[in-house]
Amino acid sequence: MSIKITSHSGIYQLRVSQEVNASIKDVWEFFINPQNLNSLTPKDLDFKITSPKSNQTYKGQIITYSIKVLPLYRTNWVTEITQFENQSLFVDEQRLGPYKMLHHEHHFKKIDANKTLVEDIVTYKLPFGLLGRFIGGKIIRKRFVEIFTFRKEVIFNFF
């Protein structure tokens, strides 16, 4: 797994890639089931999907969550699936939540019959301008690394 975070003009971009020992069909099916988000999220975030249950993802879908972003602070989060290309890509964008802006691309590429490359590109902007960047920049960066490291282990164990 590789993780790279860059920033410019107050906008951060996280790039994560991971090879998964499974077919693109199996990896895709796992990722497009919103119910699997719970297992991909560290337990201390107390992540809960609050929208009606669905086992599929589709363009235009609205998914709502409740998440503990800080030890004593829970917030609601609303995302919309804005792009969806079967076994290739889906994009979720925050409509309401803790970030000023968040755009998350999920890319899937077949390496061979039993190996898939999963790439995530998360582009985000923190709230509260310079103060948000100064206080939250390193904290959020560290948290993203923790979340994707946790996710890597879950995916490795699942497949």
Question: Does 106 have pLDDT greater than 90?
Answer: yes
**Model pLDDT, residue 140:** 87
Q: What is the pLDDT of residues 67-79, one digit of tens each?
A: 998 778 899 999 9
Range with the lowest mean pLDDT among 29-43, 93-107, 135-149? Answer: 135-149
* Residue 104 backbone class (left: φ over 0; alpha: ψ -120 to 50; beta: rest): beta
Q: How many CB atoms lie within 10 A of CB 16?
A: 21
Q: How confident is the model at residue 145 (pLDDT cuts 50, 70, 90)?
A: very high
SS3 track for the chain: CEEEEEEECCEEEEEEEEEECCCHHHHHHHHCCHHHHHHHCCHHHCCEECCCCCCCCCCCCEEEEEEEEECCEEEEEEEEEEEEECCCEEEEEEEECCCCEEEEEEEEEEEECCEEEEEEEEEEECCCHHHHHHHHHHHHHHHHHHHHHHHHHHHHHHC
What is the reported pTM? 0.93
Select from 52, 48, 80 the least CA-distant residue to 66. 48
User: What is the per-residue pLDDT for 133?
Assistant: 80
List beta partners, residue 55. Answer: none
Distance of alpha carbon 148 from alpha carbon 128, whole angstroms: 25
Q: Please, what is the average pLDDT of the chain?
A: 93
CA–CA gap between residue 26 and residue 130 (Å, rounded): 42
Which residues, in sequence order, are CB contacts of 17 under 8 Å at separation 6+?
A: 1, 2, 117, 118, 119, 120
What residue ranges define each of the domains in the chain, with the CATH number in brackets?
2-158 (3.30.530.20)
Q: What is the pLDDT of residues 17-62, one digit of tens each?
A: 999 999 999 999 999 999 999 999 999 999 999 999 998 899 999 9
38 or 134, which is more confident: 38
